[in-house]
Amino acid sequence: MRILRLAALGLIVALAMPAHAEDGSDDDDFQTPEAAIVLALQAAVRADDKDWFVSHMHFPVRYFGKTKHIIRSKEWFLDHYSTIIGPELKANILAQDPEKHFKNYQGLMVGDGGRNIWFEEFGDPGADIPSNYEIITINNSD
């Protein structure tokens, strides 16, 4: 009986190991979807890629800055980009370690304090709708 338990435990441990560990690759090669979206956001911030932001927004987007606003259109966002995505918010996003993000039932937060961007995961892989992270809130205040 003891041998069966040890064998079962060994099987459970083997099955629980991530697939990439079996092929000898480094853990650093594995990237979570959350880390990928953080890295993509950081690249967009560095390049001031407004189109990336627009394509990753789930309208309406809540904005909390010097004023509160609901961003309802990509045109409005593009017209106000430099105010919404200001230097302090950019600095917080670029300082974020992609592997040490904050995630809870409300979504994924990139940045910290009062300057951050929140993403929510949308899609339904079971219904052949791929999952992707979209911006739902932008906070840019003290």
Residue 78 has a pLDDT of 97
The single-letter code of the amino acid at 22 is: E
Between CA 11 and CA 46 the distance in angstroms is 46
Span 33-140 CATH architecture = Roll (3.10)
Residue 117 and residue 138 in contact, taking contact as beta carbons nearer than 8 Å: yes
Domain boundaries, the chain: 33-140
Residue 129 has a pLDDT of 78
Residue 118 and residue 106 in contact, taking contact as beta carbons nearer than 8 Å: yes
The single-letter code of the amino acid at 71 is: I
Residue 28 has a pLDDT of 53
Where do we find the tokens 């940045």?
111
Residue 13 has a pLDDT of 41
- Mean pLDDT per 10-residue interval, the chain, length 142 residues: 46 43 49 92 97 96 94 96 95 94 91 93 80 94 83
Between CA 123 and CA 113 the distance in angstroms is 29
Residue 29 has a pLDDT of 59
Residue 84 and residue 65 in contact, taking contact as beta carbons nearer than 8 Å: yes
